[in-house]
């Protein structure tokens, strides 16, 4: 009964306190909902930007890979041709005191220049 008698005496301050707490809770809830709404919108926008960048990067990577494969193929073909030509040059009889004739020297110089 002591509690009920205190409520009878202090009902206005209790009502004001309760109203204040509810008002603060509603303001907090509204602010949190607005923040979450904005956060979700920003997250969706950022994900869209990332998706565009991922596609762009994938295209660039595919293009670079294609260029690399073409260059690698060309170098392997060139290396094979040089190997065959070097074999032909070495198979020739050389009767000079020099180890490499003019054809071999030009092949070596072109190989050095291409690096």
pTM given for the model = 0.46
CB atoms within 10 A of CB 111: 13
Instruction: Say how many domains are in the chain.
Output: 1
Q: What pLDDT, in 10s, does the model give residues 76-106?
A: 887 766 665 656 655 555 555 556 667 777 8
Exposure letters 75-94 (e unless 16+ CB within 10 A, then b): eeeeeeeeeeeeeebeeeee
Contacts of 7 (CB under 8 A, 6+ apart): 14
Contacts of 86 (CB under 8 A, 6+ apart): 104, 107
Residues in the chain: 115
The pLDDT of residue 90: 58
- Does residue 46 have a pLDDT over 80? yes
What is the domain extent for residue 60?
A: 2-114
């Amino acid at each position: 009964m002591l509690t009920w008698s205190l409520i009878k005496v202090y009902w206005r301050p209790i009502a004001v306190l309760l109203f204040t707490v509810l008002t603060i809770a509603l303001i907090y809830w509204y602010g949190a909902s607005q923040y979450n709404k904005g956060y979700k919108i920003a997250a969706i926008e950022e994900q869209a930007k990332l998706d565009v960048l991922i596609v762009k990067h994938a295209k660039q990577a595919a293009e670079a890979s294609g260029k690399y494969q073409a260059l690698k193929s060309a170098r392997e073909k060139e290396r094979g041709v040089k190997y065959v030509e070097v074999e032909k040059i070495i198979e020739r009889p050389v009767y000079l005191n020099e180890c490499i004739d003019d054809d071999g020297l030009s092949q070596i110089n072109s190989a050095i220049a291409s690096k």
